[in-house]
Amino acid sequence: MNNSARIILILAIMAISHVSCTTRRTTGGQFANNPVIAHRGAWKTKGLPQNSIAALHEAIRLGCAGTEFDVHLTQDDVLVVNHDADFLGIDVATSTYEELLAKKLPNGESIPTARDYLLEGMKQQKTKLIFELKTSRLGKERTKYSADLAVALVKELGAEQWVEYIMFDYDGAKRIIELDPDAKVWYLNGDVAPQQAKADGFFGLDYHFTVFRDKQPTWLQEAKRLGLAVNVWTVNDRAEMVRLLDQKAEFITTDEPELLFEVLSER
């Protein structure tokens, strides 16, 4: 993306942000108060495709506090929901959205756009939409441009109250904070200390459970002392869930949301 186009996009985001201050949608409801974040939606028990609209609906039906979804940018600048760099064998970054429509998920759905996913998720007021923006394999500038487009989309839709962002790319995540200082942005990679994340304006740390358990066992409590929220991924083991709940992790991302709800009911 050339500098002129980037400047135009940034100005558009600023304009949308200004309008959003007065026209932002209100939820009129209460988001669920539990630590359960469904990983790529709630898909496993019912055999639904990951990152599908059906898996989104199931996470909402279960009452999860949040449902995580993965977003890539196509060659023609469409944000689409898919975990891998390819969609059923079609490379996302170097393909157009129309080319991705050639294949369908096992349940008959086409690859969702982030716009469609957000609009569907905004029909309810109990489950947050945890927007994981993937790092572009085409380079840093493409990743930052993805962040520009993501923030612009969320602001255009008035989805700020539903959306929290997570990223592995530290610079891309800081780009989101720059564009929307009120956004809740979490870092995923597990290599930044709580003090640095706090200084850079992050809302929370979202690290793999082995980071907090084995590599940096003091970081979870350090993060909490600094006022950072803590999410831990991807936890599918009952004993590990119990351990993290005992340590007061605010959220746990899991492929087994039903199991985590069972653990919570036993407490």
- pLDDT tens for 201-245 read 999 999 999 999 999 999 999 999 999 999 999 999 999 999 999
**Degrees, nearest 5: CA angle 250-230-248:** 45
Q: What per-residue confidence (pLDDT) applies to 38? A: 99
Q: What is the distance, to the nearest Å, from the Cα of residue 72 to the centroid of all Cα atoms in its chain?
A: 12
pLDDT tens digits, residue range 82-128? 999 999 999 999 999 999 999 999 999 999 999 999 999 999 999 99
Q: What is the spatial distance between Cα 228 and Cα 202, in angstroms, rounded to a whole number?
A: 8
Q: What domains can be seen in the chain, in order of their start residue? A: 3-21+34-266 (3.20.20.190)
| 43-51 mean pLDDT | 98
Residue 141, judged by CB atoms within 10 A of its CB (0-12, 13-18, 19+), counts as exposed
Tens of pLDDT along 138-161?
999 999 999 999 999 999 999 999
pTM of the model: 0.91
Helix (H, G, I), strand (E, B) or coil at 75: coil
Q: Is the pLDDT of residue 76 over 70?
A: yes
